[in-house]
Structure formats: structure tokens, C-alpha cells
Amino acid sequence: MLTRTSILSLLLICQLAVTGQSEKAFLRSANKLYEAGVWSEALPMYLTLLQQAYDKEQNEALVDCYMQLGLYEDAAAWMRMLVDQEPNNPELLRRYADVLKRNGNYHLAKDYYLQFAVYDATGYYLAGTCDYAINNAQADSLVWIESLAVNTPASDISPAFFRKGLLFASNLQQPDKRNKTIADPATGTGFYNLYYAAINSNGDITRATPFDELNSELNDASASFDDVNDVLYIGRNNMLHGRQKAGKDNSVHLSLFYAAYSEGRFKKLEPFVWNDKQYSVGHPCIAGNGKLLLFTSNMEGGYGGTDIYYCTLEEDAWSDPVNLGPVINTAGNEAYPFVTADGRLYFTSDYHPGFGGMDIFWSERVGATWKKPVNPGLPLNSSYDDFACIMTGETGYFSSNRPGGQGSDDLYRITYMKPVQSIHVINSKFQPVAGARVTLLENDHRIEAGYTDGDGNLSLPIESGHAYTVALTKDGYLDAVMYDLEQYRSSNGFITIDMQELYGTDESRQEEDSIIDEQDMDWDTTTTDEEQLPEVGIFDVYIGTFKEPEYTKITSLARFGELSVRSEENGLLSFYILGITLRSTADAALTAALAAGFSEAAILEKE
């Protein structure tokens, strides 16, 4: 990754180099690198020249280098100099407003979009997208975002589900078979290769390994796996005799390839029928039991820069590409399609009203038409580039170049906390309470929800937007009440309610006998099994109450049990780990919470 530190180092080298050759020769070298798209090397050379004497053309080239390398704050600073010189240049006004918006400077971006609108009415629409970002700046506190442990100092992008883990692309520089490190001259980083990371039983992803079987010496990225027919689709640069092959527009385009997966190995990669060296076909998403392929392309006939298309598999042949239409595609760029199991389409756009940069959107199909795309808002999206989102249930993964990551792009996990849908009722001995009568109260209305089952569980007939109180009754127990059910959230939609039994009440003698205090056991010292029974029960761990929760740290504790959050009356959020069955696990959760800096964490003891 090219950083400001590495730019300063290269700048020093360039200052030494320019003293060894004429300024004209140094400029010719910078221009050749720029024209060849070697941004990472041209940038410090232009900086060196501009420090010696200002030149408008060199300033323009420098801005382009910064933009190509994703260094938007530096690009904005140098672009401002150009705007001051040409305040009536509509193209420059539009570009400057775009980079200001990427940097989260929505008010100033809106001003320049309105100046651009004098020349092009599109500016009014773009100014409106700034209003959208300003008016929707409140992040959803019940959406958790966490960085993945497999992120590197390089660019890690495009997650895809594969078997029991994730495939993703990274341009971390790795030595080849000859122990040589190959870098992309345009960016100074490595070429993208595919990596695989398993997801363990706790949902953690801790180690990634190169997917060497399909990786090439150039860019391999954006995979999608058909788990019905065992076929993997990937995007790759056009190649000829091992080199990147440019089209008539002098650009290197993406193409799709696919390979069958059998007995743990892939067969030969085959090209997708609609590949073309004159345009890109990339970002595959295979759906519909392997009979629907969505992809991104800049082929002629689209609505903007890149559009999303689809083909259907008919008698073992892919149909002609079909554009998803103007509800999804815009005058901007749409990319990275993904379809969930229930048919929801996620994609990325830099034109629909949003916060970036690129934002993530979703839409659903009704009959033959798509609904208006929905921006999920903050914190999934940001003023930076957020893209390539994949979802399964309430959990998903995506890529972003937002600040605070390890590299230029990083992988993140998103978890949507669920409203309460079911209850689990226990007594003070941690036994499930079966047959408890459950009533929902809302103002003067009473809804008989039913009775808890043998495990103490019951699904509640609740509707969103209603303020319910839950009342529980059972002979031999004190009545229990939980107010304001809508203020509770959990990772699985369950919440535990305690009922206090009266003296002499025994919910289940068999279950009670299974909870044994070690001190009361008459251990047989002659047994060959010296393993003692662990302390069991149901334990809750209080993490803390926060105004601005540190979600990455909190979600790291999910490996110990069910995470739950409660909205307090003062607007703060209280977090818990619920349903831990072993005291040793509860102790480990408490230790981890304290180590993470949650000084008020505690194991909640039952009276």
C-alpha cells in the first residue's frame, strides 16, 4: 500500500535524482510513468517538480495520481488549487465536489455541486445526495461492525462464501515459486490473489491461506461459488501469453472464468461466453441453483459507467446479457451484485443517494420490477468506499477503505441485532419453567401468547412498532413482568426471563439433581476417572453501559455466549452475554471483558 510515509521516502529519492539529470529529462520520465499508469512512481516525481516551480499540468497529473491511489484528502488539497484558477470549469467543479463528498465534507460538497448545477442540472440531484447524507448522519446503534482478523496492511476485498468459510482477494505481496516478489507497477502493491479463511464454530475467522490452485501471476478477484453444482466463478484480468492484454481503449479489462470443483480439486478454468477484450465482465454472483449469473460490465448500451447485468442458463448455454434496468442502474457506476437465499439483491453504487464514495444498497423484486433501492445507512456505509457486501441471515461481510483499518481496503463483518421474538423462562435454580402462561399487554389490549414448552421456550406473536409488556404466571411462582419489550435486542431474537419459585416448588427433580455442588459429592477416590464435574447452570455476564459502544471489542465477546443489548431510559445502551452454561466459561468471559477494558464487567449472581 502506498502511504504518505512511503511517498515522503520516494520524494527524498526523487529530489536526489532530479539533481543528477536535467529538469526536462526528469519531467519526461514522470510523464512516461503517468501515461503508462504507473501512478505510484509518477506521484512523488510530480511532487518534486511542483516544489521547485508550480505548473498547472503537473498539478492536474498529481491530482489524478492521488485519485487513482485512493488518497482523497491529498487529492482535494491539490484540486482546490485548480478550482481557484478555473472557478468556472464545470468538469473541475464536479470532480472537486465528488472528492469533498468522499472525504465526508458534505456541506462544502453541496456548495460546489450547486455551482456545477449552473452548467448541468445533474448538480441539483448530486447536491440532494449531500442533503441525504447530512439528514441521515445518525448511525444505527444496533448494527455491529467489526474488522476481521485476516486483514493485512495491503488491500483485502470482495468476500465470497465458499464451503465453511470465505474466499476473498488480497494484493499482499507474496514471493512466487522462484521466490521473487512481483508488484503491480500502477500501484506499487502486489497483484490480487484469492485466499481462503475458514469460519469456526464461534463464527471467528483467524487464518487465511492462498488459494494457489487457481491464482495466477496477475489479478484474480471477486469470486462466487455455486454450491449446488460445485462450480466457482472468478474475475481475472485479460491475459495473452501471460501478460495483461489491453483493448482498443488502451485499458486492461476484466473477464469471467469458471471451474468445476470435484473431490477437493478444481478442473481447468473456462472463459465465460460473453467475455470481450473491448469491455469488462466482472464481479460474478451465481444464484438460482446455478441458473442465474449476475455480473458487472461496462459494455455498450448501459445507463452509466458500469451496470449490473444477468444471464440465465438455458439448455447448458448462457442467454444474452440483460441489463437490470434503470431502477438499479444509473448514470453512475453499479457493481458487486449479490443475491441472498430469499432473493434480496445487494449491490454497490456511487450514484444512488448515499454517503460516499461507493455505498452498499439492497433491493427486492416484485413481479417483473425492482423496488427502489434502499441505503442501509450508517455504520454499514460511510463517506468512504463501502462495497462487495454478502449476507446470510442477520450476518454478512463487506469491504471498505474507511479509516481505522489495517490496509488500504479491509474486510468487515456486520451483524444486525434482532428484536425479541421468543422468550426462555428459567427459575432461580436455572431450570426451564414449563407451562408458564404468557400474556402480552399493550395499553388496554391483552394477547394470550400461550404457554412455555418443556424447555421453557415460547415464540411471541408480536408485531413491529408495538410497545408490549410481557406478563408470566404459573402456580408455585411469583408473577413476573418485563416492561417495554421493544427496547431489548439480542443476536438470536431470544431473551431470558427469570421467575421466582415459591418455597417447596420443584420444577424438575431430575434436572435439579444434575446441578451438584462439588463439596457435597462423596467422591470415590478409587475410581480411575479423576475428572471432576464442572460447575453448571446458566450465567449472565454484564459487559457495561455505554453512550458510544466500542462494537469491535464487544462483538469479540460473542464467542462466549449470546450477546444482548438493552436501551436504557437515558439513551445509553447496556450489553450482556446471556445463557452461559458453565461457570468456567462465565469466568473466561469476565476475564476477556476486563482485559478489553470493560472495567464494570461482572458475572450476575442469582439470589
As a whole number, mean pLDDT of residues 412-423 equals: 89
**According to the model, what pLDDT value does residue 105 have?**
96
As a whole number, mean pLDDT of residues 40-56 equals: 93
Amino acid type, 590: L
Q: How far is 343 from 58, CA to CA, in rounded Å?
A: 49
pLDDT tens per residue, range 62-97: 999 999 888 999 999 999 999 999 999 999 999 999
- Per-residue pLDDT for 530 more than 60? no
pLDDT band for position 527 (cuts 50, 70, 90): very low
Q: Which of 358, 390, 416 is the last residue of a domain?
A: 416
Structural domain includes residue 296: yes
Same domain, 384 and 429: no
- Structure-model confidence comparison of residues 117 and 576, the more confident one: 117
Q: Which of 393, 416, 439 is the last residue of a domain?
A: 416
Same domain, 351 and 454: no
Same domain, 216 and 354: yes
- Per-residue pLDDT for 534 more than 90? no
Q: Annotate 304-344 with three-state secondary structure.
A: CCEEEEEEEEECCEECCCEECCCCCCCCCEEEEEEECCCCC
Same domain, 241 and 335: yes
Residue given cell 448462457 in the structure block: 318
Signed CA dihedral, 585, 591, 597, 603: sign only: positive
Q: How far is 527 from 516, CA to CA, in rounded Å?
A: 19
Q: How far is 212 from 205, CA to CA, in rounded Å?
A: 19
**According to the model, what pLDDT value does residue 506 have?**
67
Same domain, 481 and 509: yes
- Per-residue pLDDT for 19 more than 60? no
Q: What is the CATH number of the domain that holds 607?
A: 3.30.70.1070
pLDDT band for position 190 (cuts 50, 70, 90): confident
> For the CA atoms of 406, 221, 349, 183, what is the dihedral angle to 10 degrees?
60
- Per-residue pLDDT for 130 more than 80? yes
Structural domain includes residue 492: yes
Q: What is the CATH number of the domain that holds 340?
A: 2.120.10.30
Signed CA dihedral, 483, 485, 489, 494: sign only: positive
- Per-residue pLDDT for 355 more than 70? yes
Same domain, 267 and 375: yes
Same domain, 161 and 249: yes
Same domain, 348 and 263: yes
Phi-psi region of 142 (alpha: psi -120 to 50; beta: other; left: phi over 0): alpha
pLDDT band for position 507 (cuts 50, 70, 90): low
Structural domain includes residue 570: yes
- Structure-model confidence comparison of residues 218 and 463, the more confident one: 463
- Per-residue pLDDT for 144 more than 90? no
Angle at which helix 56-68 crosses helix 23-35, to 10 degrees, equals 40
Instruction: Give the best-scoring range by mean pLDDT among 163-177, 242-256, 318-332, 556-570.
Output: 318-332
pLDDT tens per residue, range 564-604: 888 777 778 888 888 787 787 888 889 888 888 899 999 98
Same domain, 234 and 286: yes
Q: Which domain holds residue 606?
A: 532-607
- Per-residue pLDDT for 304 more than 90? yes
Q: How far is 322 from 310, CA to CA, in rounded Å?
A: 5
Domain count, the chain: 3
Same domain, 193 and 338: yes
Q: What is the CATH number of the domain that holds 438?
A: 2.60.40.1120
Residue given cell 478489553 in the structure block: 596
Residue given cell 472528492 in the structure block: 99
**According to the model, what pLDDT value does residue 520 have?**
41
As a whole number, mean pLDDT of residues 383-398 equals: 95
Report yes or no: 210 and 172 within 8 Å, Cβ to Cβ.
Answer: no
In the chain, what percentage of residues exceed pLDDT 70? 85
pLDDT band for position 344 (cuts 50, 70, 90): very high
- CB hemisphere CA count around 328 (13 angstroms): 29
Same domain, 291 and 220: yes
Structural domain includes residue 233: yes
Structural domain includes residue 574: yes
- Per-residue pLDDT for 480 more than 50? yes
**Least confident span in 143-157, 189-203, 524-538:** 524-538
Q: Which of 447, 453, 416 is nearest to 434 (CA)?
A: 453
Report yes or no: 370 and 362 within 8 Å, Cβ to Cβ.
Answer: no
As a whole number, mean pLDDT of residues 197-211 equals: 86
**Bond before 432 cis per omega within 30 degrees:** no
Structural domain includes residue 225: yes
Q: Considering the chain, what is the average pLDDT of its residues?
A: 85
Structural domain includes residue 131: no
In the chain, what percentage of residues exceed pLDDT 90? 58
As a whole number, mean pLDDT of residues 364-370 equals: 91
As a whole number, mean pLDDT of residues 254-276 equals: 93
Q: Which of 389, 397, 331, 340 is nearest to 360 (CA)?
A: 389
Query: Within 10 A of 414 (CB to CB), how many other CB atoms are there?
Result: 20
10 Å CB burial of residue 447 (0-12, 13-18, 19+) is middle
Residue given cell 462450480 in the structure block: 231
Q: Which of 416, 440, 475 is the last residue of a domain?
A: 416
**Least confident span in 30-39, 213-222, 521-530:** 521-530
- DSSP result, 104-171: T-HHHHHHHHHHHHTT-THHHHHHHHHHHHHHT----TTEEEEE-TT--SSBEEEEEEETTEEEEEE-
Structural domain includes residue 308: yes
Same domain, 256 and 214: yes
- DSSP result, 254-320: EEEEEEEEETTEE---EE-TT-BTTB-EEEEEEEGGGTEEEEEE--TT-SSSBEEEEEEEETTEEPP
